[in-house]
């Protein structure tokens, strides 16, 4: 089939809830992907950071195939021999006491919301049905009804009401606004340490630390959504390390499986996840042996291959080289590790057109909003490949 035929049948038979670039991919290895015509591209989105370990990593693939031949799904009505080892390894790596495994990121966010509400009623002593969770403007935490209920993106909300109550929204990076939003019913503050979908927005230094202090002062659970920032993306295992804070609940997903399979998890100390009793929450596929085996291999690869350090090192190089580009269209470049954004002046805009031009140069990157292009390649990327990327970025900058 021609590339155009694939696009036609996708458009004809599929719901149009995405607007993908017109490239039909059929193969991937490491940082590279190939389309059905055999053209090669450097993947600078890495499936929104789910493929941190690189496409089709052989060790994760091997673990997946081996487990698929043995046992894939038992449901949690029975135990399986992958779950305990997965829990222990994940807790040891992240300094957590407890894990609750789910599948998608949104499900893990929903899990965190349910858990802190219950914690609020049973531990903190909030009156029934009064729990409030503070969130940030321009957040992205997923697509379920409750999650879009506290989105500030009209596209994500319009037409989907009625919405779930119990959320209060404050400007991202504004500790005074957070403090002002807190009352006796506040059970949690839910935040991305760096806002990914908003365009790699990094809060002012000291903000997360201040948020941590406020949460301690008012007996509030700090929930960090590290689904995108976690597992090496920003050059640390978790982005919270940049501010030396520790969340009470940490949500991870995406790269937890290296892109092979949806695996997410909520991590916490004993007190918080401990409020859940048998029968109160669950998932048919959550914690299945195939997911656990894949996640164990994906975590192992992350550490054994030094991908977190590589993310830090290559990210510093990439960002410093990007900063050297002096071009009137560029408003700002920013990032941490391999989570980098290039923002154009709004009167120039055209991030989407820019991504299309990059595609013609063999680079796949994603526009976010009108003016921002995000670069988040797999963490296995090497300096030569970053040089290829830099050359393409330079080549297709808009004419002055």
Ligand X SMILES: *Cc1c(COP(=O)(O)O)cnc(C)c1O
By annotation, the residues acting in catalysis are 140, 225, 254
Q: Taking each helix axis as running N to C, give the angle between helix 383-395 and helix 307-324, from 0 to 180 degrees, rounded to the nearest 10.
A: 30
Nearest approach in angstroms of CB 197 to ligand X is 6
Nearest approach in angstroms of CB 102 to ligand X is 9
Member of 28, 203, 253, 259 binding ligand X (CB under 6 A) = 253
Binding mask 128-147 for ligand X (x = CB under 6 A): ------------xxx-----
Stretch that binds ligand X, among 62-70, 157-165, 224-232, 362-370 (CB under 6 A): 224-232
Q: Does 105 bind ligand X (CB under 6 A)?
A: yes
Nearest approach in angstroms of CB 391 to ligand X is 29
Q: Report the residue number, 48 or 242, with the smaller CB distance to ligand X.
A: 48
Residues 6+ away with beta carbon under 8 Å from 377: 31, 42, 43, 44, 45, 46, 338, 385, 389
Q: Does 196 bind ligand X (CB under 6 A)?
A: yes
Q: Does 228 bind ligand X (CB under 6 A)?
A: yes
Q: Does 310 bind ligand X (CB under 6 A)?
A: no
Q: Encoding tokens for residue 35?
A: 């389309």
Q: Does 286 bind ligand X (CB under 6 A)?
A: no
Q: Does 285 bind ligand X (CB under 6 A)?
A: no
Q: Does 225 bind ligand X (CB under 6 A)?
A: yes
Residues 4-63 that bind ligand X (CB under 6 A): 48
Cβ proximity of 254 and 50 under 8 Å: yes
Cβ proximity of 147 and 105 under 8 Å: no
Q: Report the residue number, 82 or 228, with the smaller CB distance to ligand X.
A: 228
Member of 52, 67, 82, 104 binding ligand X (CB under 6 A) = 104
Member of 31, 51, 227, 341 binding ligand X (CB under 6 A) = 227
Residues that bind ligand X (CB under 6 A): 48, 104-106, 109, 140-142, 192, 196, 225, 227-228, 253
């Amino acid at each position: 089939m021609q590339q155009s035929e694939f696009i036609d049948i996708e458009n004809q038979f599929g719901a149009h809830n995405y607007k993908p670039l017109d490239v039909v991919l059929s193969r991937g290895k490491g940082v590279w992907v190939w389309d059905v015509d055999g053209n090669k591209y450097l993947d600078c989105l890495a499936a929104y950071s789910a493929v941190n370990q690189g496409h089709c990593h052989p060790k994760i693939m091997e673990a997946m195939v081996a487990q698929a031949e043995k046992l894939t799904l038992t449901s949690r009505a029975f135990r399986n021999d992958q779950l305990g080892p997965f829990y222990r390894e994940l807790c040891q790596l992240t300094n957590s006491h407890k894990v609750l495994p789910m599948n998608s990121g949104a499900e893990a966010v929903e899990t965190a919301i349910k858990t802190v509400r219950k914690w609020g009623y049973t531990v903190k002593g909030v009156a029934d049905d009064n729990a409030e969770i503070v969130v940030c403007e321009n957040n992205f935490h997923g697509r379920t009804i409750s999650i879009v209920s506290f989105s500030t993106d009209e596209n994500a909300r319009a037409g989907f009401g009625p919405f779930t109550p119990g959320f209060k929204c404050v400007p991202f990076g504004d500790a005074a606004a957070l403090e002002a939003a807190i009352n006796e019913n506040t059970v949690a503050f839910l935040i991305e340490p760096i806002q990914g979908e908003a365009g790699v927005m990094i809060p002012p230094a000291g903000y997360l630390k201040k948020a941590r202090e406020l949460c301690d002062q008012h007996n509030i659970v700090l929930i960090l959504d590290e689904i995108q920032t976690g597992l090496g993306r920003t050059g640390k295992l978790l982005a919270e390390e940049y501010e030396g804070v520790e969340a009470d609940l940490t949500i991870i997903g995406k790269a937890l499986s290296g892109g092979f399979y949806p695996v997410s998890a909520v991590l916490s100390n004993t007190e918080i996840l401990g409020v859940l009793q048998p029968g109160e929450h669950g998932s048919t596929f959550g914690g299945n042996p195939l997911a656990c085996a894949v996640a164990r291999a994906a975590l192992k690869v992350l550490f054994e291959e030094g991908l977190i350090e590589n993310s830090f090192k290559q990210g510093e190089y990439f960002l410093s080289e990007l900063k050297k580009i002096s071009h009137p269209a560029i408003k700002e470049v920013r990032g941490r590790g391999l989570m980098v954004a290039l923002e154009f002046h709004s009167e120039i805009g055209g991030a989407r057109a820019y991504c299309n031009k990059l595609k013609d140069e063999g680079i796949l990157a994603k526009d976010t909003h009108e003016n921002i292009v995000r670069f988040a390649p797999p963490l296995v990327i090497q300096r030569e490949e970053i040089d290829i990327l830099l050359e393409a970025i330079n080549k297709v900058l808009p004419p002055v």
